[in-house]
Amino acid sequence: MKKMTQDYSKYTEEDRKVWKTLFERQQKNLPGKAHPEYLNCLEQLSDVLNPDEIVNFDKLNEYLMAENGWSVVVVPGLIPVDDFFKLLSEKKFCSSTWLRSMDQLNYLEEPDMFHDIFGHIPLLMNSEYAHFVEEFGKLGVEFGHNKTVEKQLQRLYWFTVEFGLIKMEENTRIYGAGIISSAGETDHIFEDDIEVLPYDVEKVLYNDFITSEIQTRYYEIESYEELFKSVKDLEKTLKEEVTA
């Protein structure tokens, strides 16, 4: 895959306005809804990840590398699944560098930089979560050539990294990036017409999803430790799938 870089000089006044608007909206919306660990990680990165300036990947990478050895790499948009798995296995999270327009604030079909960075990156400061994502990538490299397994891994990623919930005492909190980065999705979690199920690798692997519709079913982990430990169950299931 051709190496790409972030051209910081190309961002416009509208880009800066979009970044600031989205960031400040979720900063106000997430307390009491997002898991405190996400908010803590966001605060840890506040010198380089804040509403006042569009994130600079070089500065952000200094913080990520120092904490858990991760870095952000630039991609043109959605990339082939095998490339995606390989990057994760190398502790590299891919991000686009473009931002939605002001008239797309509430809905976007393809993930932009705000989703990729604000939604995904802060929790990579948490070692258990970061290890889960890395091990997920390694399993994708090992087993992703099998189309059935590839689909199963996409489901797991969807219901954890993108749309995962986490239990906090008697309350549900958000950690999935697809919810964290979207005001509409964040508020939707606390409505009555959703189904929240206990996290179970076997069930998640066989649960289809539709990307174009708002979610109605979610899986809730007990802790980031549970998420990381579930990699062993995942590996066992995938081995059984490819040898069946």
Q: DSSP for 8-27?
A: GGG--HHHHHHHHHHHHHHH
pLDDT at 244: 61
pLDDT at 109: 77
CB 237 within 8 A of CB 183: no
How many other C-beta atoms lie within 10 A of the C-beta of residue 184? 10
- 97-111 pLDDT per residue, tens: 999 999 998 877 788
- 10-43 pLDDT per residue, tens: 999 999 999 999 999 999 999 999 999 999 999 9
Mean pLDDT by 10 residues, the chain (244 residues): 85 97 97 97 97 97 95 88 95 96 86 96 97 96 89 95 94 96 93 91 92 87 95 88 72
pLDDT over 70 for what percent of the chain? 99
- The amino acid occupying position 124 is L
How many other C-beta atoms lie within 10 A of the C-beta of residue 103? 8
Architecture in CATH of 8-243: Orthogonal Bundle (1.10)
- 31 exposed, middle or buried (CB, 10 Å; 0-12, 13-18, 19+)? exposed
DSSP, collapsed to helix, strand or coil, labels residue 116 as helix
pLDDT at 38: 98
Element (H, E) at 167: strand 165-168
